[in-house]
Structure 1
Amino acid sequence: MGQQPITFLRQVIALCTYPELMDDPSFPLDAKLRASKILQSCGGQSLGSYSSSQGVRCIRENVAQYIMQRDGGIPADPDNIYLTTGASDGIASILKILVSGEDKSRTGIMIPIPQYPLYSAAISELDAIQVNYYLDEENCWALDVNELRRALYHARDYCNPKVLCIINPGNPTGQVQSRHCIEEVIHFAWEEGLFLLADEVYQDNVYSDNCKFHSFKKVLCEMGPEYFTNVELASFHSTSKGYTGECGYRGGYMEVVNLHRDIAAQLVKMLSVRLCPPVSGQAAMDVVVNPPKPEEESYNRFIREKEAVLSNLAYKAKLTEEIFNQIPGIKCNSLQGAMYAFPRIFIPDKAVQRAKELRMAPDMFYCMQLLEETGICVVPGSGFGQKEGTYHFRMTILPAVEKLKTLLQKVKEFHIKFIDEYS
């Protein structure tokens, strides 16, 4: 998509991978110091060695420090930090230790609809039970606790719901949950004895002036001991999103709080089967949580690059929302965060009938027509789940501005022609 990598991150990884570069004067001193500290904590002072299953100790300490600073001083324990092969690996691992039972006692996992398909795929692979709760599209994809309660009580007829997944900021919907909403969700989880999974990989991607990211860990701790000593919570972050976009390094972490120590021991044992996450990905995660400080040589360049990426994404989020809402038959909620638009599209009855003849979901038919006529690939809303009778597609806002403008114009022209053809 043309996004330029963050120089400091690539410098540190290069130095870790090829330490002979420590003698190269073109590398800044702070990058060399960062790389040296990581290497000193690696077996044989090499990225090529296995680390402990939970991850390199000094990197977990830096993650804990990052969480504490992010959450206004609330402490984080490195022993509760697990470095992962991207956030996806951590989510799948936690789900694996939580799933048990058979028939009506089988573990139910509550997921938002629309959802990121990692969840439905992992639930299917583990033979668990997917419990859908619907986000409120009319209220900018807000999370309604009454809807959580409806989904939970209904699911108890056929499974044992034990896990509640939240994606904040949302994928594919792009909403940012308010603090009040998070408090309500935590109270609900406490009340019903649910394990909370907080997918927070887009925590740096908040664009709306009216929104702010609140971590579940911070809100949980500020709600008082009744909550922060009882509610089990796993939260996730990643090198793949934010302003870094380093998906290929497969770096991530999860913080797990209030997990019984016997269960934690089983989690470590299970993670040991896969030996360790990629150590280069662990090093990339270290740079994300421990970027240059104001007094360091690389700080000014780092801030310039970070702010350029995030301000560019914010501009493209607004541009995408505005253009979609100018198109007759398309309605797009505010893109408050993350990296996607998930507009609702009007599909005429004649097109719905044609899709049925082709044995396709109507929005899949729409998206295939768009692909064949324009070369633009978007994902139909049916791939994420949506309320019956509504149709959507997900589109990333990552392309360069000029390319994005061209793309949106082509979508506009296609949609108007599609509506006209099938009216």
Structure 2
Amino acid sequence: MCIRCVSKSTAVRLLSSWGAGSAPCALARAIGGAEAQAPRAAGVRLYSSMPQPAEQHGANVNEREGKVAHPTLLNADLLKAQYAVRGELYNKALELQKQGRELIFTNVGNPQQLGQQPIHFNRQVLSLMAAPFLLDNPAVASLFPKDAIERARKLHKTFGSVGAYTDSRGNPGVRQEVADFIQQRDGYPANPEHIFLTDGASVAVRLLLNALIRDSNDHILVPIPQYPLYSASIQLYGGTLLPYNLKEQTGWSMDFNEITRTVHEARNRGACVRGLVFINPGNPTGQCLTEDNLRDLVKFAHNEKVVLMADEVYQPNVYQDEKPFVSAKKVLGDLGAPYSDSVELASFHTVSKGVLGECGLRGGYVELTNFHPGTIDELYKAVSINLSPNTMGQVAMSLMVNPPQPGSESYQQWKKEHDEGLASLRRRAHAMTDGFNALDGVTCTFTEGAMYSFPRLHLPPKAIAAAKAAGKTPDTFYCLQLLEATGIVTVPGSGFGQEEGTFHLRTTILPPEEKIGEFVKLFQDFHKGFMAKYA
């Protein structure tokens, strides 16, 4: 039973049976009044507007070093949070880089770091937005196409200076463009008042998690393997991650019987299951969900009363034709009532992925479907604390959702860059998967979408024993040796979560296409040597 959801009369009855001193504080809050001061269970934060006595927090100053903000005296949830994508392997890589080692950073989906070129039209418009005094310079007309100049002029009129704050939800004109993009993609209208532009999709994800999580009794369903943004953020906000396992043997599929059982078991323990995260296409697993999968997700959210969080940032990155990207918003609309008008859906997108790869510009959005108007107001208040998302990221979002159209001067070049970029990524996805599967002791499902391969490492007992002796997980042990030997920076599967007794690593498929063969051979040579060493 979720103790947040009981009636006040039931709460009073349960409180009496527990005794006011031992009742869960969420139950006490359901009653209100003096009983709301009942203490929380161990390990759960006590939120209060009143300052707490210093002794409840322990020492204020580290006596040995005389520091107030000493690592031992920081927020416990910050200390517990882990982000493996830039964790131990990444820090070791930075040390090697300082020593002059040449490294290949495949630990993070950062396309332009590995040589992906930006779209010309986008950079032309961004340049003119940064220097609007060039708009009327005759020399610019000979350098930039007319439609890029006109687009910049229109955006400049909408924004004014890109050095000025916008509305905290983002520029209204860009939010309308995002709404038009969503309607064109899905066939269903989108309300720009329910769209928030953010500094990348990660900020939007954290916005929702921070709003949903009230204390450690609030649980968020997250796929395993998962992108560690979710585990780290849930920890920071004091919630509890409720894992559901993707099935590697069936292409990282979802088992709704298992997910339902997981939810019911958690609720029987008194947990409140508030939301379900899914990533489509998958990160780190690279699978694409079918429409049937998405229908099941929507029905599950309706039946179990959870908020759906649709991480769809890789929607342009699809490398096969059998399972094209379909948005959760479209499936929600196709299902009709009672789903289309009740399921609370938060959908996330970004300019960082696809063939744009504009990670550094930090542009993202979240669309909120079927959310209560009061909740949208509270989220507006939350983003207002930061005043404004960055303006160049908003411009990049405008250019992503509203690119050059057929017949415009820039369209042919834009289409060529877009199509060739996507085709190259598709070839690299095949080359990477084939390279892994050619090795003894490695199996890898095909990268159907996103930017990553997630091969499974079948490590020999001697390697596992050596890892244990070194105080490392076996996959971390493998990845550290890979880094030392080759300069390839990856992420161990343990950083994403994996089935017990299995070991993986994640690498991007982003090395330049002309170097992908060299990259694969470098990995293969290392792996053969590693397996021989620990045979």
Indicate yes or no: 2:174 matched with 1:59.
yes
C-alpha contact 1:85 1:250 (8 A) present in aligned 2: yes
Post-superposition shift, 1:158? 5.2
Q: What residue is the counterpart of 2:153 in the other structure?
A: 36
Q: What residue is the counterpart of 1:266 in the other structure?
A: 378
Post-superposition shift, 1:30? 1.2
Q: What residue is the counterpart of 2:465 in the other structure?
A: 353
Deviations 1:213-262 (A, max 9, x none): 01000000110120011000000100100110000000011100111011
C-alpha contact 2:214 2:238 (8 A) present in aligned 1: no
| 2:132 aligns with one of 19, 24, 29 | 19
C-alpha contact 1:110 1:131 (8 A) present in aligned 2: yes
The one-letter code of the counterpart of 2:421 is V
| 2:204 aligns with one of 87, 90, 105 | 90
Task: Tell me how large the CA RMSD over aligned residues is.
Answer: 1.0
Count residues in correspondence.
417
Q: Distance in 1 between matches of 2:450 and 2:215?
A: 35
Q: Distance in 1 between matches of 2:215 and 2:228?
A: 24
Indicate yes or no: 2:263 matched with 1:152.
yes
Q: Distance in 1 between matches of 2:270 and 2:485?
A: 45
Post-superposition shift, 1:308? 1.1
The one-letter code of the counterpart of 1:373 is A
SS at match of 1:131: strand
SS at match of 1:266: helix
C-alpha contact 1:16 1:39 (8 A) present in aligned 2: yes
Q: What residue is the counterpart of 2:357 in the other structure?
A: 245
| 1:47 aligns with one of 158, 162, 180 | 162
Deviations 1:194-213 (A, max 9, x none): 00000000000000121110
Q: What residue is the counterpart of 2:286 in the other structure?
A: 174
C-alpha contact 1:84 1:277 (8 A) present in aligned 2: yes
Q: What residue is the counterpart of 2:449 in the other structure?
A: 337
SS at match of 1:363: helix
Q: What residue is the counterpart of 2:14 in the other structure?
A: none
SS at match of 1:172: coil
Indicate yes or no: 2:240 matched with 1:129.
yes
Q: What residue is the counterpart of 1:2 in the other structure?
A: 115
Q: Distance in 1 between matches of 2:284 and 2:433?
A: 14
C-alpha contact 2:215 2:238 (8 A) present in aligned 1: no
Q: What residue is the counterpart of 2:213 in the other structure?
A: 99
C-alpha contact 1:143 1:177 (8 A) present in aligned 2: no
The one-letter code of the counterpart of 1:345 is L
Post-superposition shift, 1:363? 0.4
Q: What residue is the counterpart of 2:51 in the other structure?
A: none
C-alpha contact 1:129 1:159 (8 A) present in aligned 2: no
Indicate yes or no: 2:293 matched with 1:293.
no
Q: Which runs of 5+ in 2 are unaligned?
A: 1-113
Q: Distance in 2 between matches of 1:289 and 1:340?
A: 24
TM-score (norm 1): 0.97
Deviations 1:288-340 (A, max 9, x none): 00000001110000000011110000000011111111111100001100000
SS at match of 1:14: helix
Indicate yes or no: 2:206 matched with 1:108.
no
Q: Distance in 2 between matches of 1:326 and 1:158?
A: 48
C-alpha contact 2:165 2:391 (8 A) present in aligned 1: yes
Q: Distance in 2 between matches of 1:385 and 1:402?
A: 32
Q: What residue is the counterpart of 1:209 in the other structure?
A: 321
Q: Distance in 2 between matches of 1:183 and 1:344?
A: 29
Equivalences for residues 256-405 of structure 1 within 5 A:
256-405=368-517
Indicate yes or no: 2:410 matched with 1:410.
no
Deviations 1:125-180 (A, max 9, x none): 00100000011100111122122112212322252111000000000100000000
Structure number with larger C-alpha Rg: 2
Q: Distance in 1 between matches of 2:262 and 2:324?
A: 27
Q: What residue is the counterpart of 2:44 in the other structure?
A: none
The one-letter code of the counterpart of 2:132 is P
C-alpha contact 2:350 2:365 (8 A) present in aligned 1: yes
C-alpha contact 1:66 1:289 (8 A) present in aligned 2: yes
Post-superposition shift, 1:28? 1.4
